[in-house]
Amino acid sequence: MKARISAGSRLLGNFVVLLLGITTLMFFALRAAGDPIIVMAGENAGPEMIAALRQQYGFDQPLLLQYLYYLGNVLKLDFGASLASGEAALPLVLSQLPATLLLAFLGMTVTLVVSVPVGAWLGARPDRASVRIVSAIVVFAQGLPGFVTALILIQIFVVQLMWLPSLGHADVRTWILPSLSLASFLAPKLIRVIAANVAEAMRQEYIRTARSIGSSAASILWREAFPNAILGTVALVSAQFAFLFAGAVIIEVLFLWPGIGLLLFESAQTLDFPVLQAITFVVAVLVFLVNTLSNLVFRRIDPRIGQAVS
Amino acid sequence: MLRVAIVSLPPAYGNPYTAMGAPGAVTWQQLFDGLTRIDEAGNVVGALATDWQLIDTHTWRFRLRENARYSNGAAFNAETAKEVFDWLLSNQGRITPVGNELRGLAEVSISGPHELIIRTHQPDPILPNRLALVMMVEPKSWAELGPKAFGQQPVGTGPYMLESWRNGNGAAELAANRYGWRRPHIETVELFPLHDHAARFQAAISKQLHLSQSMRPEELQIFSERGFDALVDPTKQIIGIAFDVAGHPDSPVADRRVRQAINIAVDTQTISEVITYGKHSPASQGAAPGVFGYNPALKPYPYDPIRARELLADAGYPDGFSINATIVMGTYANDVEIYQKVQQDLAAVGIDLILEATLFSDWIRQYVTGKWRTEAFSLAWNTAPYYDSIRPMDYFSCGKAIPFYCNPSMMPAIENAATEMRPKEREQALQDLQLRFHNEAPSLYLLEYGHIWVSSNEVSGFAMANGAPQLYKLKLKARD
Amino acid sequence: MSARANSVAGWWRRIFRRFGSLELLAGIALFAVILILILFRAQLQTHDPYVGDLYDRFSAMGVGGHLLGTDNLGRDVWSRLLEGIRWSISAAGLATVIAFLIGTVVGLVAAQVSGWVRTLLNQIVDMALAFPSLIIAIIIVAVVGRGFWPLTITLGLVSWPVFARVVYAETLSLLERDYVAASRAFGARRSAILLGHVLPGLRPTLTVVLAFHFADMLVAESALSFLGLGAPLGVPTWGNLLQESRDYLMVAPWLLIVPCAGIIYAVVTVNLIGDGLSSLARKRGLRIDL
């Protein structure tokens, strides 16, 4: 029990350090990227106007002072207000988070529903002709950038056939194309990982033993091969989570999906520092959660690796 | 429900003083009115003001519309108008882009319940034009909430009022303003901010939208096959590439002959015909026809690469040279294509133009601070939405806070045109200036550009004014 | 069979045994085509990739001497495709190398140290993973501008954590193996273990990950172009070609198909090589944990 508590507090400690590190890095990196005051002042602004605006937003203070003030606020979970709209930054980001989580959930669901059966089937019998063809299709799909898939899906289902909408978020029909597009980012690779793991597992000694004592192929797959496949899957997904988020930005922009990816894109145009900082914070928390979860799964499946990795 | 796709919503939402014109104007003009308005033909007409006179060179009297109300029921009158102007002239208001535009105002006073007296520091012949972009907010809410919160829940006299900045579909939702002095035919509007052009096109062509902003000329064929109409915004800008003469005095572009050579080396006629399918004509000067001060005697620089080479040789560059230009992509439809064609034409006369595409935030930082990394940059002669050619001359001269082109010999003429109150003399002065600018060529004059809007066959009555669609005039056709 | 046929068959058999699998052979053959296209680019291009005749714009494939048609400025698509191969392949390749170097070093070190150093390194990897790649790209473009190196560095900086995590997990797993424990028990020094067991043990996994990472970088380059942060304007990288083609999908669909086909071709090639290497390793009795 004691070990558990100290492990937990160590985890929490790591978490806090991670967040502080990221918010600090973001603070200085953003200021290297540009000047939001000038964007706000507009094209016709003169130096006095810009100076006055700078003062109004506290950008005229020495950088270190600004940083300390900022840090103090971050510890209170106050990321300031959007430079453009004045909305409180963190609440704004949190209000748009559900849409992204929904998209991620839908995308992952589609991905798993497609990848697991296909991957298992591909891995179980790697030498049949049909398998080679499907394999080829999967590699093909891996080469298609995500936004191209979205473009093609929209062209077929929205423009030509007019079956589905590409705009909107309110009803279920608007969820179909975005989740398919997001799934196309991850599914091909996941299929291959599952297939590789399943194929590998099938080759193990214990499979042969199980087979020799009469267990059916399906039950072998289920009991022995899958846990290993899941290990590989979880490792892949958690490592790719950040990529998934980047892909989600593109999907959200294309489909006008009101999530934090779209918010990130829009805020980047005007260099809205507070919102960008809040988004980074929230994404860091999410990444941390995903990592922790995946480590837990590791530990359940293979205690040896779990211990080493954590 | 009317569904419209626009390039973007104003980042500051309903705070109409955070920018002059695009992109916010499209949204703000549905929610607010100014004292005046520029109509479809480019004339300044009344909106919240019914008429106005000059009392003397520095003073105007504006008679205001009676019975106009804000969307919260409050009345619009001289008192509320004065409160708005006072804020814009205050320390806080002065540092907003709109407040900055009104820095020529000295004082606004009331001469009757629906009458305003506006006094300016200098004679300002285009004050009525300027006021077309000064949206009248409801001053009590403005004062109570403060600009930022007001932006979330704006209150204006426009035909529509705001329901939500992001509804379930990710769009801004507008509803008819029941106190408005103009009743819209269509009760609710959804504004979809689709920044990405291809996404906007696909949404429009699949009939998910009734109206879509900024489409490309090569798409119009496809649109008309599907029953769409296209309208080119009559408020035009002259797009082009300006030269940082002041910041790069030793570069080739500091020489007028070089700038003229660049103008005649580029085949704007072909660009207009082939890339824009004739929708955008070649520009002859820093204004389009219909703008006050447009000089009809001027023709676009002819396409003459041989003469261009001669000019370059005269200026001391017989073998050409290399320059860089900072451009922002996507501001105007086809701009990327146009700039690359310019690049090709210049390469044919020995000028190696390197295009550095960058983000708007980077472009504006260089523009405002006057520190250009490159010898040239993309910039438009923006006479919109004043419809008056004096405005771009403010920044294409020593009048800009940190100028990129400063020719002191032109300043007296510019200052004169800016304060000349007699229309005929003023028009002449502006036309003379257009000729001088044409010859000085502080920029490469490219095309007379206006955004192309498409409307589906499910709506009728589409018109534009002030650079924004007049949504309240649209009617939905009954479905058969 | 005649003696001649025998020797041909024998020849094939030797190649096959050397390469270990059909996939690897196919992959290398396909990659050789890419190399030829890169090396003989100048001879193979039919037109200037940067100049076009406006009156020729949107020509379909095969029309008017343009093998793959022309684009919105009348530029020959085939020549632009060839021009872009060099950019795209080298940017993706160098980005992979950068990510590989940074990630492998971090992963190796993290697996071998313990205590707060290991925790710190893991923190850094997590931080790098959590940092939105869009912001990194914006910052690099704002500070350095757009060009070959900014593009390559951005791609590398965004993706090195992938290597770090794989190398870390894999190294840990290797260090736990019985034969390593045995070596330690026999007093072998750390560097000997590293050189003798860890690095060879990493090689199969790393070669496979390298191959797939390269494919990812090719696709990522096009994503950067989508966001307006990729290669400079006018450079016909596959990402730029894809991005530019989006506005003309209904007018000139071949503008999308061609760079797409190019990317898919390269990705298929790389995957074949990766698959081939992994089945080769398997045949030689090594396991690969992806």
Please check the confidence at residue C34 and state whether its pLDDT lies above 70.
yes
Kindly list the residues from chain A whose CB atom is less than 8 angstroms away from the CB atom of residue B19: 42
Please check the confidence at residue A310 and state whether its pLDDT lies above 60.
no
What subunits touch chain B, counting only 3 or more CB pairs under 8 A? A, C
Residue C72 belongs to some domain of the structure: yes
A170 touches chain B (CB under 8 A): yes
Contact B119, B56 (CB under 8 A): no
Residues B202, A155: C-beta atoms closer than 8 Å: yes
Mutate to test the interface with B, among A43, A102, A174 (most CBs of B within 10 A): A43
Domain that holds residue C72: 20-289
Q: Which long-range contacts (CB under 8 A, 24 or more apart) does B161-167 make?
A: B161/B31, B161/B71, B162/B14, B162/B31, B163/B188, B165/B9, B165/B13, B165/B14, B166/A258
Kindly list the residues from chain C whose CB atom is less than 8 angstroms away from the CB atom of residue B362: 142
Amino acid C3: pLDDT: 58
Contact B285, B268 (CB under 8 A): no
- pLDDT category of residue A1 using cuts at 50, 70 and 90: low
The amino acid sitting at B332 is Y
Mean pLDDT over the full length of chain C: 82
A97 touches chain B (CB under 8 A): no
- pLDDT category of residue A223 using cuts at 50, 70 and 90: low
Residues A29, C123: C-beta atoms closer than 8 Å: no
Residue C217 belongs to some domain of the structure: yes
Q: Which long-range contacts (CB under 8 A, 24 or more apart) does C63-69 make?
A: C68/C254, C68/C258, C69/C252, C69/C254, C69/C255, C69/C258
Q: What is the mean pLDDT of residues B96-106?
A: 91
Kindly list the residues from chain C whose CB atom is less than 8 angstroms away from the CB atom of residue B336: 233, 244
Residue C84 belongs to some domain of the structure: yes
Those residues whose C-beta lies under 8 Å from the C-beta of residue B4, and which sit 6 or more positions away, are: B189, B190, B191, B192, B209, B210, B211, B212, B213, B469, B471
Mean pLDDT over the full length of chain A: 81
Q: Considering only B139-153, B219-233, C32-46, C188-202, which range has the smallest mean pLDDT?
A: C188-202
Please check the confidence at residue C289 and state whether its pLDDT lies above 50.
no
Amino acid C11: pLDDT: 64
Residue C14 belongs to some domain of the structure: no
Residue C109 belongs to some domain of the structure: yes
What pLDDT digit, counting tens, does each position of A59-88 carry?
988 989 999 999 999 889 999 999 988 889
Q: Considering only A143-147, A262-266, B66-70, B413-417, which range has the smallest mean pLDDT?
A: A143-147
d(CA B260, CA B252): 11
Q: Considering only A90-104, A115-129, A135-149, A192-206, which range has the smallest mean pLDDT?
A: A192-206
d(CA B20, CA B133): 7
More confident residue, B375 or A187: B375
Please check the confidence at residue B480 and state whether its pLDDT lies above 50.
no
Residues B218, C251: C-beta atoms closer than 8 Å: yes
What pLDDT digit, counting tens, does each position of A85-98 carry?
888 999 999 999 99
Question: Is the peptide bond between B159 and the residue preceding it cis, with omega within 30 degrees of 0?
Answer: no
Q: What is the mean pLDDT of residues A133-162?
A: 86
A246 touches chain B (CB under 8 A): no
Q: Which residue has the tokens 């058969």?
A: B480
Kindly list the residues from chain B whose CB atom is less than 8 angstroms away from the CB atom of residue A257: 170
Kindly list the residues from chain A whose CB atom is less than 8 angstroms away from the CB atom of residue C134: 246, 249, 264-265, 268
Amino acid A229: pLDDT: 65
Residues in C 224-253 with any Cβ partner in A closer than 8 A: 226-227, 242, 246, 249-250
Amino acid B230: pLDDT: 94
Kindly list the residues from chain B whose CB atom is less than 8 angstroms away from the CB atom of residue C141: 358-359
What subunits touch chain C, counting only 3 or more CB pairs under 8 A? A, B
Residues C57, B197: C-beta atoms closer than 8 Å: no
What pLDDT digit, counting tens, does each position of B444-479 carry?
999 999 999 999 999 999 998 888 999 999 999 865
What pLDDT digit, counting tens, does each position of C237-262 carry?
988 898 889 889 999 999 999 999 99
The domain tally of chain C equals 1
Residue C5 belongs to some domain of the structure: no
Residues A269, B94: C-beta atoms closer than 8 Å: no
Secondary structure string (H, E, C) spanning chain A: CHHHHHHHHHHHHHHHHHHHHHHHHHHHHHHHHCCHHHHHHCCCCCHHHHHHHHHHCCCCCCHHHHHHHHHHHHHCCCCCECCCCCCEHHHHHHHHHHHHHHHHHHHHHHHHHHHHHHHHHHHHCCCCHHHHHHHHHHHHHHHCCHHHHHHHHHHHHHHHCCCCCCCCCCCCHHHHHHHHHHHHHHHHHHHHHHHHHHHHHHHCHHHHHHHHCCCCHHHHHHHHHHHHHHHHHHHHHHHHHHHHHHHHHHHHHHHCCCCHHHHHHHHHHHCCHHHHHHHHHHHHHHHHHHHHHHHHHHHHHCHHHHHHHC
Residue C149 belongs to some domain of the structure: yes
Q: How far is CA A200 from CA A195, C177, C278, in A?
A: 8, 19, 11
Cα dihedral across residues A252, A253, A258, A262: positive or negative: positive
Q: What percent of chain B has pLDDT over 90?
A: 83
Please check the confidence at residue C20 and state whether its pLDDT lies above 80.
no
Residues B199, A254: C-beta atoms closer than 8 Å: yes
Please check the confidence at residue A162 and state whether its pLDDT lies above 70.
yes
Amino acid A309: pLDDT: 41
Those residues whose C-beta lies under 8 Å from the C-beta of residue B451, and which sit 6 or more positions away, are: B213, B214, B232, B233, B332, B333
Amino acid B118: pLDDT: 96
Q: What is the mean pLDDT of residues B300-311?
A: 95
Q: How far is CA A36 from CA A39, A40, A245, in A?
A: 5, 6, 25
What pLDDT digit, counting tens, does each position of C65-116 carry?
888 999 999 999 999 999 989 888 899 999 999 999 999 999 888 888 888 8
Q: What percent of chain A has pLDDT over 70?
A: 81
More confident residue, C127 or B317: B317
C232 touches chain B (CB under 8 A): yes
Amino acid B438: pLDDT: 96
Residue C9 belongs to some domain of the structure: no
Closest CA to A87 of C154, B252, B153, C102: B153
Please check the confidence at residue C219 and state whether its pLDDT lies above 60.
yes
Q: What is the mean pLDDT of residues B361-389?
A: 90
Residues B362, A34: C-beta atoms closer than 8 Å: yes
Kindly list the residues from chain A whose CB atom is less than 8 angstroms away from the CB atom of residue C268: 136, 139-140, 143
Residue C132 belongs to domain with CATH number: 1.10.3720.10
Pair of tokens at residue A208 = 């042969």
Q: To the nearest whole angstrom, how far is the Cα of A11 from the nearest Cα of chain B? A: 37
Kindly list the residues from chain A whose CB atom is less than 8 angstroms away from the CB atom of residue C219: 143, 145-146
Q: What is the mean pLDDT of residues C162-172?
A: 83
Q: What is the mean pLDDT of residues B251-279?
A: 95
More confident residue, A8 or C104: C104
Kindly list the residues from chain C whose CB atom is less than 8 angstroms away from the CB atom of residue B337: 72-73
Closest CA to A178 of A232, A114, A254, A237: A254
Q: To the nearest whole angstrom, how far is the Cα of A95 from the nearest Cα of chain C? A: 19
Amino acid A42: pLDDT: 86
Q: Considering only A280-294, B124-138, C45-59, which range has the smallest mean pLDDT?
A: A280-294
What pLDDT digit, counting tens, does each position of B187-197 carry?
999 999 998 89
Kindly list the residues from chain B whose CB atom is less than 8 angstroms away from the CB atom of residue A260: none
Amino acid A8: pLDDT: 75
Mutate to test the interface with B, among C80, C250, C255 (most CBs of B within 10 A): C250
C248 touches chain B (CB under 8 A): yes
Residues B218, C248: C-beta atoms closer than 8 Å: yes
List the single residue in A146, A189, A268 with the smallest CB-CB distance to C138: A268
Amino acid A289: pLDDT: 83
Q: Which residue has the tokens 């708007």?
A: B360
